[in-house]
Amino acid sequence: MSIENYKQGGARRPRNRNREAFFLLLPTILLLAVFIAYPLVNTVMLAFQDYKLTDVAGAHFNGLENFKAIVADPYFPQILKNSFLFTFCTVTLQFLLGLVLALALNKPFRGRNLYQSVIFLPWSISALVIGFTFRWLFNAEFGPVNDLLLRLGVLEERVSFLGDGTLAMACVILAMVWYGVPFFGIMLTAAFQSIPTDLYEAADIDGSGAIRKFFYITLPHAKPTIILTLLLRTIWVFNSADLIYVMTNGGPSNATHTLASYMFTKAYSTLNFGQTGALGVLFMVGLVLYAFAFMKVTNYDGSGGF
Protein backbone atom coordinates (compact mmCIF):
# COMPACT_ATOMS: atom_id res chain seq x y z
CA MET A 1 0.00 0.00 0.00
CA SER A 2 1.25 3.40 -0.84
CA ILE A 3 1.40 6.35 1.46
CA GLU A 4 -1.20 8.06 -0.74
CA ASN A 5 -3.76 5.55 0.31
CA TYR A 6 -3.39 6.26 3.99
CA LYS A 7 -3.80 9.95 3.49
CA GLN A 8 -7.01 9.49 1.63
CA GLY A 9 -8.46 7.55 4.49
CA GLY A 10 -7.31 4.46 2.68
CA ALA A 11 -9.98 2.68 0.75
CA ARG A 12 -8.79 -0.74 -0.31
CA ARG A 13 -8.12 -1.72 -3.86
CA PRO A 14 -10.89 -3.76 -5.40
CA ARG A 15 -9.52 -7.20 -4.72
CA ASN A 16 -11.85 -10.06 -4.12
CA ARG A 17 -13.43 -8.16 -1.29
CA ASN A 18 -16.76 -7.37 -2.84
CA ARG A 19 -18.42 -10.22 -1.06
CA GLU A 20 -17.27 -9.09 2.37
CA ALA A 21 -18.57 -5.61 1.80
CA PHE A 22 -21.80 -7.01 0.52
CA PHE A 23 -22.39 -9.08 3.63
CA LEU A 24 -21.63 -6.17 5.89
CA LEU A 25 -24.13 -3.99 4.07
CA LEU A 26 -26.72 -6.71 3.61
CA PRO A 27 -28.71 -6.15 6.83
CA THR A 28 -29.11 -2.45 6.10
CA ILE A 29 -29.94 -2.99 2.45
CA LEU A 30 -32.51 -5.63 3.33
CA LEU A 31 -34.09 -3.38 5.92
CA LEU A 32 -34.34 -0.46 3.53
CA ALA A 33 -35.47 -2.66 0.66
CA VAL A 34 -38.40 -3.96 2.66
CA PHE A 35 -39.43 -0.81 4.45
CA ILE A 36 -38.41 1.95 2.07
CA ALA A 37 -38.34 0.50 -1.42
CA TYR A 38 -41.87 -0.82 -1.24
CA PRO A 39 -43.42 2.48 -0.12
CA LEU A 40 -41.30 4.22 -2.76
CA VAL A 41 -42.53 2.03 -5.60
CA ASN A 42 -46.02 2.30 -4.20
CA THR A 43 -45.85 6.09 -4.25
CA VAL A 44 -44.76 6.16 -7.86
CA MET A 45 -47.52 3.74 -8.82
CA LEU A 46 -50.13 5.81 -6.98
CA ALA A 47 -49.01 8.95 -8.76
CA PHE A 48 -50.30 7.64 -12.08
CA GLN A 49 -53.58 6.25 -10.82
CA ASP A 50 -57.02 7.55 -10.01
CA TYR A 51 -56.75 6.15 -6.51
CA LYS A 52 -59.14 7.19 -3.79
CA LEU A 53 -59.23 5.35 -0.49
CA THR A 54 -63.00 5.65 -0.56
CA ASP A 55 -63.13 3.75 -3.85
CA VAL A 56 -60.16 1.41 -4.01
CA ALA A 57 -62.00 -1.03 -6.25
CA GLY A 58 -62.45 1.68 -8.87
CA ALA A 59 -58.75 2.57 -8.96
CA HIS A 60 -57.23 2.72 -12.44
CA PHE A 61 -54.24 4.22 -14.22
CA ASN A 62 -54.98 7.70 -15.49
CA GLY A 63 -51.69 8.84 -17.00
CA LEU A 64 -50.71 12.34 -16.02
CA GLU A 65 -54.13 13.44 -14.73
CA ASN A 66 -52.92 13.78 -11.15
CA PHE A 67 -50.03 15.99 -12.15
CA LYS A 68 -52.34 18.13 -14.25
CA ALA A 69 -54.68 18.52 -11.28
CA ILE A 70 -51.80 19.65 -9.08
CA VAL A 71 -50.62 22.24 -11.56
CA ALA A 72 -54.20 23.48 -11.89
CA ASP A 73 -54.54 23.88 -8.11
CA PRO A 74 -54.71 27.65 -7.55
CA TYR A 75 -52.93 27.34 -4.19
CA PHE A 76 -49.99 25.41 -5.63
CA PRO A 77 -47.70 28.32 -6.66
CA GLN A 78 -48.01 29.99 -3.28
CA ILE A 79 -47.36 26.75 -1.43
CA LEU A 80 -44.32 26.05 -3.54
CA LYS A 81 -43.01 29.52 -2.79
CA ASN A 82 -43.69 29.04 0.93
CA SER A 83 -41.82 25.74 0.92
CA PHE A 84 -38.70 27.29 -0.55
CA LEU A 85 -38.85 30.30 1.73
CA PHE A 86 -39.44 28.16 4.80
CA THR A 87 -36.70 25.66 3.97
CA PHE A 88 -34.16 28.25 2.89
CA CYS A 89 -34.63 30.57 5.87
CA THR A 90 -34.79 27.75 8.39
CA VAL A 91 -31.71 25.93 7.16
CA THR A 92 -29.68 29.10 6.66
CA LEU A 93 -30.50 30.42 10.12
CA GLN A 94 -29.98 27.05 11.76
CA PHE A 95 -26.63 26.78 10.07
CA LEU A 96 -25.41 30.30 10.78
CA LEU A 97 -26.50 30.20 14.42
CA GLY A 98 -25.11 26.70 14.78
CA LEU A 99 -21.84 28.01 13.36
CA VAL A 100 -21.71 30.89 15.82
CA LEU A 101 -22.51 28.53 18.66
CA ALA A 102 -19.84 26.06 17.56
CA LEU A 103 -17.24 28.80 17.27
CA ALA A 104 -18.11 30.07 20.73
CA LEU A 105 -17.87 26.55 22.11
CA ASN A 106 -14.60 25.87 20.37
CA LYS A 107 -12.34 26.82 23.23
CA PRO A 108 -12.74 25.04 26.55
CA PHE A 109 -14.15 27.02 29.46
CA ARG A 110 -15.26 26.13 32.92
CA GLY A 111 -18.68 24.46 32.88
CA ARG A 112 -18.59 23.70 29.18
CA ASN A 113 -19.83 20.15 29.70
CA LEU A 114 -22.87 21.34 31.59
CA TYR A 115 -23.44 24.13 29.10
CA GLN A 116 -23.38 21.70 26.20
CA SER A 117 -25.81 19.28 27.73
CA VAL A 118 -28.29 22.10 28.37
CA ILE A 119 -27.93 23.76 24.99
CA PHE A 120 -28.68 20.49 23.21
CA LEU A 121 -31.98 19.92 25.07
CA PRO A 122 -34.41 21.33 22.46
CA TRP A 123 -33.33 18.51 20.26
CA SER A 124 -34.86 15.92 22.57
CA ILE A 125 -38.41 17.32 22.55
CA SER A 126 -40.89 16.22 19.93
CA ALA A 127 -41.74 18.71 17.21
CA LEU A 128 -45.41 18.56 18.13
CA VAL A 129 -44.85 19.73 21.68
CA ILE A 130 -42.57 22.46 20.40
CA GLY A 131 -45.28 23.53 18.00
CA PHE A 132 -47.90 23.76 20.73
CA THR A 133 -45.57 25.56 23.10
CA PHE A 134 -44.61 28.18 20.52
CA ARG A 135 -48.23 28.60 19.48
CA TRP A 136 -48.93 29.48 23.07
CA LEU A 137 -45.88 31.71 23.49
CA PHE A 138 -46.97 33.77 20.48
CA ASN A 139 -50.65 33.87 21.38
CA ALA A 140 -51.75 37.49 21.35
CA GLU A 141 -53.90 37.35 24.47
CA PHE A 142 -52.46 34.64 26.69
CA GLY A 143 -48.92 34.44 25.39
CA PRO A 144 -45.91 35.73 27.29
CA VAL A 145 -44.19 37.16 24.18
CA ASN A 146 -46.84 39.82 23.69
CA ASP A 147 -47.09 40.42 27.41
CA LEU A 148 -43.33 40.92 27.81
CA LEU A 149 -43.03 43.19 24.78
CA LEU A 150 -45.93 45.27 26.03
CA ARG A 151 -44.43 45.56 29.49
CA LEU A 152 -41.05 46.51 28.07
CA GLY A 153 -42.70 49.13 25.94
CA VAL A 154 -41.48 47.61 22.68
CA LEU A 155 -45.05 47.19 21.53
CA GLU A 156 -47.82 49.66 22.07
CA GLU A 157 -50.63 47.28 21.41
CA ARG A 158 -51.02 43.56 21.07
CA VAL A 159 -49.75 41.99 17.89
CA SER A 160 -51.34 38.88 16.48
CA PHE A 161 -48.12 37.12 15.53
CA LEU A 162 -49.82 34.07 14.11
CA GLY A 163 -52.71 36.03 12.61
CA ASP A 164 -50.64 37.82 9.99
CA GLY A 165 -49.26 35.83 7.07
CA THR A 166 -45.73 37.21 7.10
CA LEU A 167 -45.37 37.24 10.87
CA ALA A 168 -46.80 33.74 11.14
CA MET A 169 -44.23 32.44 8.69
CA ALA A 170 -41.51 34.16 10.71
CA CYS A 171 -42.80 32.53 13.92
CA VAL A 172 -42.89 29.08 12.38
CA ILE A 173 -39.34 29.54 11.11
CA LEU A 174 -38.25 30.78 14.52
CA ALA A 175 -39.65 27.69 16.24
CA MET A 176 -37.99 25.45 13.68
CA VAL A 177 -34.68 27.26 14.15
CA TRP A 178 -34.91 26.90 17.91
CA TYR A 179 -35.43 23.19 17.40
CA GLY A 180 -32.59 22.67 14.92
CA VAL A 181 -29.69 24.84 16.07
CA PRO A 182 -28.38 22.20 18.50
CA PHE A 183 -28.02 19.72 15.67
CA PHE A 184 -25.71 22.02 13.70
CA GLY A 185 -24.06 23.07 16.94
CA ILE A 186 -23.04 19.52 17.74
CA MET A 187 -21.94 18.63 14.25
CA LEU A 188 -19.89 21.78 13.74
CA THR A 189 -18.32 21.79 17.20
CA ALA A 190 -17.15 18.30 16.51
CA ALA A 191 -15.83 19.16 13.09
CA PHE A 192 -13.93 22.18 14.41
CA GLN A 193 -12.37 20.28 17.26
CA SER A 194 -11.07 17.69 14.88
CA ILE A 195 -8.79 20.23 13.22
CA PRO A 196 -5.20 19.52 14.27
CA THR A 197 -4.00 22.33 16.53
CA ASP A 198 -0.60 22.46 14.81
CA LEU A 199 -2.29 24.01 11.78
CA TYR A 200 -3.39 26.96 13.88
CA GLU A 201 0.01 27.16 15.50
CA ALA A 202 1.63 27.37 12.09
CA ALA A 203 -0.81 30.09 11.12
CA ASP A 204 0.02 32.00 14.29
CA ILE A 205 3.69 31.92 13.34
CA ASP A 206 2.78 33.31 9.93
CA GLY A 207 0.92 36.06 11.74
CA SER A 208 -2.51 35.24 10.29
CA GLY A 209 -5.51 36.90 11.90
CA ALA A 210 -8.53 35.13 13.32
CA ILE A 211 -10.68 35.79 10.27
CA ARG A 212 -8.04 34.52 7.91
CA LYS A 213 -7.61 31.40 10.03
CA PHE A 214 -11.34 30.81 9.96
CA PHE A 215 -11.55 30.97 6.18
CA TYR A 216 -8.30 29.19 5.37
CA ILE A 217 -8.19 26.50 8.04
CA THR A 218 -11.43 26.09 9.94
CA LEU A 219 -13.93 26.15 7.11
CA PRO A 220 -12.05 24.00 4.59
CA HIS A 221 -11.46 21.32 7.21
CA ALA A 222 -15.06 21.24 8.28
CA LYS A 223 -16.33 21.26 4.72
CA PRO A 224 -17.36 17.59 4.37
CA THR A 225 -19.30 17.77 7.63
CA ILE A 226 -20.92 21.06 6.67
CA ILE A 227 -21.99 19.78 3.28
CA LEU A 228 -23.43 16.55 4.60
CA THR A 229 -25.35 18.21 7.43
CA LEU A 230 -26.64 20.99 5.20
CA LEU A 231 -27.81 18.50 2.63
CA LEU A 232 -29.58 16.22 5.08
CA ARG A 233 -30.99 19.06 7.08
CA THR A 234 -32.49 20.64 3.98
CA ILE A 235 -34.19 17.38 3.12
CA TRP A 236 -35.52 16.96 6.66
CA VAL A 237 -36.76 20.51 6.98
CA PHE A 238 -38.44 20.36 3.58
CA ASN A 239 -40.10 17.14 4.66
CA SER A 240 -41.29 18.29 8.09
CA ALA A 241 -44.97 19.03 8.46
CA ASP A 242 -45.88 18.53 12.11
CA LEU A 243 -44.67 21.83 13.51
CA ILE A 244 -46.54 23.86 10.90
CA TYR A 245 -49.62 21.71 11.23
CA VAL A 246 -49.74 22.41 14.95
CA MET A 247 -48.72 26.06 15.02
CA THR A 248 -50.84 27.49 12.21
CA ASN A 249 -52.44 24.61 10.32
CA GLY A 250 -51.12 26.34 7.21
CA GLY A 251 -53.05 29.55 7.87
CA PRO A 252 -53.87 32.32 7.72
CA SER A 253 -55.14 31.64 4.22
CA ASN A 254 -52.35 29.23 3.29
CA ALA A 255 -49.62 31.73 4.15
CA THR A 256 -47.67 29.11 6.07
CA HIS A 257 -48.54 25.94 4.21
CA THR A 258 -45.55 24.15 2.76
CA LEU A 259 -45.63 21.27 0.35
CA ALA A 260 -45.20 18.80 3.21
CA SER A 261 -47.93 20.21 5.44
CA TYR A 262 -50.29 20.82 2.53
CA MET A 263 -49.82 17.25 1.40
CA PHE A 264 -50.61 16.00 4.87
CA THR A 265 -53.83 17.99 5.18
CA LYS A 266 -54.84 17.27 1.62
CA ALA A 267 -54.21 13.54 1.78
CA TYR A 268 -56.45 12.96 4.75
CA SER A 269 -59.12 15.47 3.82
CA THR A 270 -59.57 14.20 0.26
CA LEU A 271 -58.40 10.59 0.74
CA ASN A 272 -57.20 10.98 -2.84
CA PHE A 273 -53.94 9.09 -2.60
CA GLY A 274 -53.37 9.28 -6.34
CA GLN A 275 -52.91 13.02 -6.15
CA THR A 276 -50.98 12.71 -2.91
CA GLY A 277 -48.67 10.24 -4.62
CA ALA A 278 -48.18 12.65 -7.51
CA LEU A 279 -47.32 15.43 -5.07
CA GLY A 280 -44.93 13.01 -3.40
CA VAL A 281 -43.22 12.22 -6.69
CA LEU A 282 -42.79 15.91 -7.53
CA PHE A 283 -41.51 16.41 -4.02
CA MET A 284 -38.88 13.69 -4.35
CA VAL A 285 -37.82 14.63 -7.87
CA GLY A 286 -37.27 18.16 -6.61
CA LEU A 287 -35.18 16.95 -3.70
CA VAL A 288 -33.09 14.61 -5.85
CA LEU A 289 -32.36 17.42 -8.31
CA TYR A 290 -31.47 19.66 -5.40
CA ALA A 291 -29.18 17.03 -3.91
CA PHE A 292 -27.33 16.55 -7.21
CA ALA A 293 -26.99 20.26 -7.82
CA PHE A 294 -25.83 20.83 -4.27
CA MET A 295 -23.19 18.13 -4.48
CA LYS A 296 -21.98 19.40 -7.84
CA VAL A 297 -21.74 23.00 -6.67
CA THR A 298 -19.98 22.09 -3.45
CA ASN A 299 -17.84 19.58 -5.25
CA TYR A 300 -18.70 17.02 -2.60
CA ASP A 301 -18.77 14.37 -5.25
CA GLY A 302 -15.10 14.80 -6.09
CA SER A 303 -13.83 15.20 -2.56
CA GLY A 304 -14.00 11.48 -1.94
CA GLY A 305 -16.97 11.90 0.36
CA PHE A 306 -19.46 10.50 -2.02
Partner 1 sequence: MKKRLFSITLAGMMALSLLAGCGGGSSSQAESGSAPEGSSTEPVTIRFMDNMASEVRDRAYAEIIANFEAANPDIKIEYETVPWDQSHSKLVTLGSTGTMPDVVQVHPTWISEFVNAGWLVGLDSYMENYEYKDGFTEYAQNVLFDETQRDVYGDLYVVPDAILTNGIFIRTDWAEEAGVDYTDWTWSEFLDAAHKMTDPEQNRYGISFRGARSAYHQAMFLLYAQTGGRIYDEEGNCLINSLECVEIFDQYINLYKEGCTPQDAINWGFSEMCSAFTSGLTGMLNQTCEVIDMCNQSLEDDQWTVAMLPKSDLDGKIYNEISFSNGYAIAQNSEHKDAAWRFIEYLSSPEAASIYCKTNLLIPIQKEALEDEFFTTGKMAGYAEMFKQDNLMAWPELGYFPEVGEFRETFADAEVQKCMQGQQTAQETLDKLAEFLTTYQKQYMQENPDVPVPMPKVATSSAL
Partner 2 sequence: MNRKQKRLIVGLVRFLILTLFLLAVLAPLYWLLVTSFKTSGEINSLQVTYWPQQVTLENYQKLFQVTNFGTYMKNSLIVTFSSSLLVLAFSLCGGYALARYQFRGKKAVLIAFLVSQMIPTILLFIPMFLIFGKLNLINTLQSLVILYTVFNTPFCLITLRGFFERIPVSLEEAALVDGCNKLQAMTKIIMPVLFPGIVATFVFAFTGAWNELLAGIMFINSNSLKTIPVAINAFIGKYSIDWGQMSAACIIALIPTTIFFAVVQRYIVQGLTQGAVKE
List contacts with partner 1 (CB under 8 A). 52-56, 75, 139-142, 158-160, 162-163, 165, 168, 248-254, 262, 265-266, 268-271
Give the separation between CA 168 and CA 183, rounded to whole angstroms: 24
Closest approach of partner 2 to the CB of residue 165, in Å: 23
Among partner 1, partner 2, none, the one that 160 touches (CB under a kind-dependent 5 to 8 A) is: partner 1
Task: Please state the closest distance from residue 44 (CB atom) to partner 2, in A.
Answer: 10
Buried b (16+ CB within 10 A) or exposed e, 92-116: ebbbebbbebbeebeeeeeeeeeee
Q: Any contact of residue 168 with partner 2 (CB under 8 A)?
A: no
Residue 52 forms beta bridges with which residues? 55, 272
State which of positions 122-141 bind partner 2 (CB under 8 A): 122-130, 132-134, 136-137, 141
What's the CA gap between 280 and 267, in Å, rounded? 11
CA 94 distance to own-chain centroid: 9
Q: In 194-272, which residue ranges form alpha helices assigned H by DSSP?
A: 197-206, 210-213, 219-238, 242-247, 259-270
- For partner 1, the closer of residues 104 and 129 by Cβ is 129
Interacting positions 63-92 with partner 2 (CB under 8 A):
none
Question: Least CB distance from residue 30 to partner 2, whole Å?
Answer: 10
Binding-site partner at residue 216 among partner 1, partner 2, none, CB < 5 to 8 Å by type: none
- Is residue 243 a contact residue for partner 2 (CB under 8 A)? no
Find the radius of gyration of the CA atoms of the chain. Answer: 24
CA 70/CA 68 separation, integer angstroms? 5
What minimum distance in Å lies between the beta carbon of 225 and partner 2? 8
Least distance between partner 2 and beta carbon 41 (Å):
9
CA 265: distance to chain centroid? 20
* Residue nearer to partner 1 on the CB measure, 138 or 192: 138
Beta carbons of 166 and 255 less than 8 angstroms apart? yes
Q: Which is nearer to partner 2, 71 or 128 (CB)?
A: 128
Q: In this complex, which beta carbon is closest to partner 1, that of residue 141 or of residue 156?
A: 141
Closest by alpha carbon to 203, among 214, 191, 192?
214
Residue of 4, 57, 60, 113 interacting with partner 2 (CB under 8 A):
113
